[in-house]
């Protein structure tokens, strides 16, 4: 049975009443919400649980989907600071670019950004148990991508430019997970504790579903990306600080 979505015109609305409306709607069983005229409202979907799809037309403010656990947000516009911050589960599909600290400390779910992201993308992402966070970026990223990363996957396709990332500090302090970047990444761009390894046919096989899902979501032909022309960056050690200290 097709149910009409709940459509909310959020023009000029403060985030607190907006989130309250969303929460109440989800609690009453609404599964499809459309927000129109979004302009800078922070914290949309913050801490939200449940099986709901939220379509965001416009540009949401910072911490979109922070602590979110389950819902799917599709954003037809750019996103601000730290979408997917400390997100537990669910999806953010951003049909634009996003600011700094995208997917900061994300523990589960997927954040797909069609365009570019700023500094510190995927910083301190971590995986645990059945949870495996994925940050995929269609464009490029600024410095400190995947810094302190403790688990999950960061994929950067660099559509329109190769290599996909030209900024420094990739994976500094990384101690879990992997960063996969289109093209051959200059090792000088890697941070302390990160190392580059060959991207193999097995890796491609493993990541093909992610690449295909990303491309399908944004209407991109996946074929040009299904080869082994990637750099795979992993931790040099799961204990980056083990050798730094001595006892008193």
Which residues would be at the binding site for other proteins (CB under 8 A)?
Answer: 15-16, 19-20, 23, 42-43, 46-47, 49, 62-63, 66-69, 81-82, 85-86, 88, 101, 104-105, 107, 120, 123-124, 126-129, 131, 147-148, 150-151, 173, 175-176, 238-248
For 109, which DSSP code? S
CB 102 within 8 A of CB 122: yes
Spatial neighbors of 244 by CB under 8 A, at least 6 apart, are none
| Nearer to other proteins (CB atom), residue 4 or residue 248 | 248
**Enclosing H/E stretch for 22:** helix 15-27
CB of 107 to other proteins, least distance (A): 6
Of residues 27 and 197, the one with the C-beta less far from other proteins: 27
**Choice between 123 and 157, CB closer to other proteins:** 123
How far apart, in whole angstroms, are the C-alpha atoms of residue 18 and residue 155? 32
First-to-last C-alpha distance (Å) of the chain: 68
Minimum CB separation of residue 79 from other proteins in Å reads 14
Rounded Cα distance between 76 and 79, Å, is: 9
Query: Shortest gap between Cβ of 70 and other proteins (angstroms)?
Result: 10
Residue 59 beta carbon to other proteins: minimum distance, rounded to whole angstroms: 16
């Amino acid at each position: 049975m097709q149910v009409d979505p709940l459509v909310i015109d959020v023009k000029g609305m403060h985030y607190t009443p907006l989130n309250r409306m969303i929460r109440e709607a989800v609690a009453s069983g609404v599964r499809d919400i459309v927000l129109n005229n979004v302009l800078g409202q922070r914290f949309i979907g913050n801490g939200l649980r449940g099986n709901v799809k939220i379509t965001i037309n416009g540009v949401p403010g910072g911490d979109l989907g922070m602590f979110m656990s389950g819902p799917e947000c599709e954003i037809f516009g750019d996103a601000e600071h730290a979408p997917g911050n400390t997100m537990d589960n669910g999806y953010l599909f951003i049909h634009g670019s996003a600011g700094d600290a995208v997917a900061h400390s994300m523990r589960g779910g997927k954040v797909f950004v069609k365009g570019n992201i700023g500094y510190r993308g995927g910083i301190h992402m971590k995986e645990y148990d059945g949870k495996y966070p994925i940050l995929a970026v269609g464009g490029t990223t600024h410095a400190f991508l995947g810094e302190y990363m403790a688990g999950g996957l960061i994929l950067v396709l660099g559509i329109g430019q190769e290599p996909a990332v030209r900024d420094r500090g990739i994976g500094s302090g990384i101690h879990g997970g992997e960063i996969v970047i289109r093209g051959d990444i200059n090792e000088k761009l890697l941070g302390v504790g990160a190392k580059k390894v060959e991207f193999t046919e097995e890796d491609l096989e493993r990541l093909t579903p992610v690449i295909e899902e990303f491309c399908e979501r944004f209407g991109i032909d996946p074929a040009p990306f299904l080869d082994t022309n990637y750099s795979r960056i992993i931790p040099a050690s799961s204990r980056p600080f083990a050798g730094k200290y001595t006892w008193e």
